[in-house]
A and B are shown apart, each in its own frame.
Chain A
Amino acid sequence: MVLTSSLVIITALIIIDLIPIYRDQQWKAFFVYCFFLTIFLILAVLMEYNVKIPSPAEPIRSIVSFIFGFEQS
């Protein structure tokens, strides 16, 4: 489900956004765009196959508790 809907979005983005960027030869924007889209796609694929994606919530929680030294309530 994630993958299919992501693919739909990626296709739409390529048609609407990426092709004009390519035509205008904005290479920096083009590469950043492609880079983001690739991560987006990778995330979608991983989620489709139920791979657990690390969340920053937990590490941040432990860092914060380490620095401020409080116990979890």
Chain B
Amino acid sequence: MKRIIKILLYILIINPLLLTSCWNYREADNLTLVRGLAIDKAEDNNYLVSAETADMHEEGMEGKAKSVIIESKGETIFDAVRNAILVNVPRLYLGHTTVVVISQKLAQEGVTPVMDFLTRDHETRLEMHPVIYQGNEAKEIFKAKPFTAEIISEEIRDMLYEQKRISKAVQVQIYEFMECLASEGVSGIMPVVRLEEIAGEKVIRLCGTAVFKKDKLIGYLDEDETKYLCFVLDEVEGGVLTVNVGSKEDNGKITLEILKSKTKVKPSYKEDKITIEIKIRIRAVLDEVRTRIKFNDQKDLDELAKIAGEQLKGHIENVIKKAQNSNSDIFGFGLQVKRSLPKVWKEKGKDWDKLFRELEVNIIPDIEIVHTGLLIKSVEVGE
């Protein structure tokens, strides 16, 4: 009896110890920490994936990260990611990826395969930021010289976070883009980066928005247009509004700083026609006056607000025109129609493409200038 128990105990205790082989147990130091991915399409229809990894090394008592670029090729994106093992020993670990740079060429062909990979894999994260690279090959982006962070991907992410203050780029995450892809009546957008040369060094610059139709890239908006797009999307959290005043020759410009902006998009249906009404309410302060015109009392400010509103309206109309021309509903007007006028959408939703082209958009800006800064008068130059 005792002997049997001894044998049983042996099986019970020794076996589990032998069984605890690796499975998913992986040492963190056997992983290559990927911070950013750049995805290109090579000539032979294969994918070229460049991963920016953080190589950890210790300097004195503190750890430092160094950016190391690993390139690999494969028939699919995941194949390419795994093929990196051939180049670099530890496998690429995508759990900490923040930015995915997609080349312009690939985006023009369609981003569905990229999106599928990024959402299906359990390692990759849905809150990554997809970015379109305006240029030849996306991997070039990692050749840039970062200013603040050691790692370029982190720099791009920080830039995307920081731009909130100026609202000149959109901040999109994978799942939001996926939602745009899946639902009808809205087209996807992504921020765009490109390399620029400053003082002999290549640096990254955010430059506007990429416009998609379905999953294909069809065009770009520049920074200013992006700002007006943000007004429609109600994503403005700050930034400036320049107003031209006076005559053209005078070239007088007044800058308003936006404190708060709220946009309401309201579609209406009358007499077999869909109209979109956009109400933009902005609270701003007077920040810089580059003109001789004086603002000395409330009436002047009201006047200025009116002018600013008119100009804002004009700019936004231009952006909408541009979108209508390329037939891509980046503003989600269709979705708005579907949400507030489901019956109409059911009838007309099928040919929204056509309707969008001729959509009538009413913009009602309402700008309130809260205060004029520290000066109650404009700077007066003694004449």
Q: Which chain A residues have a beta carbon within 8 Å of chain B's beta carbons?
A: 1, 4-5, 7-8, 11-12, 14-15
Contacts and interface: CB of A to CB of B under 8 A. Distances in A.
A4 B14 CA distance: 12
B15 A4 contact: yes
B19 A4 contact: yes
Chain B interface main SS type? helix
Chain A interface main SS type? helix
Nearest to A14: B8
A54 B314 CA distance: 69
Contacts of A15: 5, 8, 12
A1 B8 CA distance: 18
B11 interface: yes
Contacts of B12: 8, 11-12, 15
Contacts of A14: 8
Interface string B1-13: 0000100100110
B11 A8 contact: yes
A2 B15 CA distance: 13
Contacts of B382: none
A5 B15 CA distance: 8
B16 interface: yes
A7 B5 contact: no
Given A4-B15, A8-B15, A15-B8, 16 more contacts: A1-B19, A4-B19, A5-B19, A7-B11, A7-B15, A8-B11, A8-B12, A8-B16, A8-B19, A11-B8, A11-B11, A11-B12, A12-B12, A14-B8, A15-B5, A15-B12
B5 to A, nearest CB: 7
